Copies of this chain bind each other. A is one copy, B any other.
């Protein structure tokens, strides 16, 4: 089933797709979805980011099978970076080179801590398309990645969450200005989704709506202001976002 958040006259509402309607539900994270009776026709809605996470994690060392020689490692992105389908990625003047990364993004469904191998799928609400935008020019200046990963609009997610999909082997296609620049699969991730969640929840708690960007298995590409990016994940959706110029950066403190 597809779950989403859409704009309505009354503000953002959570919805689930049944046939050709997006039907409003009370709570995307309820054990049993409760429908309010209100609905909107498919194709005539404006998608918001499908969740409002408190925690957004990305997997490092997960760009391909060779990274399995390294231990799993992760980094935080600010949840303020989350935007939806169609929203702009903003590149500040002076930020340097920026890449987009097409990634399978998992959405946590309930409190997750110290999960054991093989049991993690029960804690996942579903999967969406993620773009882990990265100011690669900032990485040499800040190996903790705060400078590289948390710019405005740096985490496009959506348009919806697919709950009935096996994450093991999903094709990922990245297009910049309608030209395919990368093709890969979640099968190429060094650490699979189950292993990632065992690792992460051994160190911290995850909760409903939190998001893990599962890594970029050869799905990164440089972008410039004016570009348009599309990330397609088979069985889930296509996510499209323009890249725009932002304001000039304020002067930084100097010693």
Contact = CB atoms under 8 A, between A and B. Distances in A.
Interface in A32-71: 54-55, 57, 60, 68-69, 71
Nearest to A74: B146
Contact of A201 (B144, B200, B250): B250
Interface in A172-229: 191, 195, 198-207
Nearest to A94: B202
Number of copies: 2
A198 B54 contact: no
Contacts of A156: none
Give the most central of A73, A252, A253: most B CB within 10 Å: A253
B114 A150 contact: no
Nearest to A142: B73
B55 A253 contact: no
A60 B144 contact: yes
Nearest to A75: B144
Interface stretch (A23-31, A76-84, A121-129): A76-84
Contact of A80 (B141, B207, B255): B207
Give the size category of A's interface with B: 35 or more
A147 interface: yes
B205 A78 contact: yes
Interface centre among A113, A203, A255 (most CB of B within 10 A): A203
A11 interface: no
A102 interface: no
A54 B147 CA distance: 18
28 contacts: A54-B79, A60-B144, A69-B255, A71-B141, A72-B252, A72-B253, A73-B146, A74-B146, A75-B146, A76-B76, A76-B78, A80-B206, A114-B247, A138-B203, A144-B144, A144-B145, A146-B200, A146-B203, A146-B204, A147-B203, A150-B204, A151-B204, A152-B205, A195-B253, A198-B251, A198-B253, A201-B250, A202-B250
Given A54-B79, A138-B203, 6 more contacts: A54-B80, A74-B146, A75-B144, A76-B76, A147-B203, A202-B250
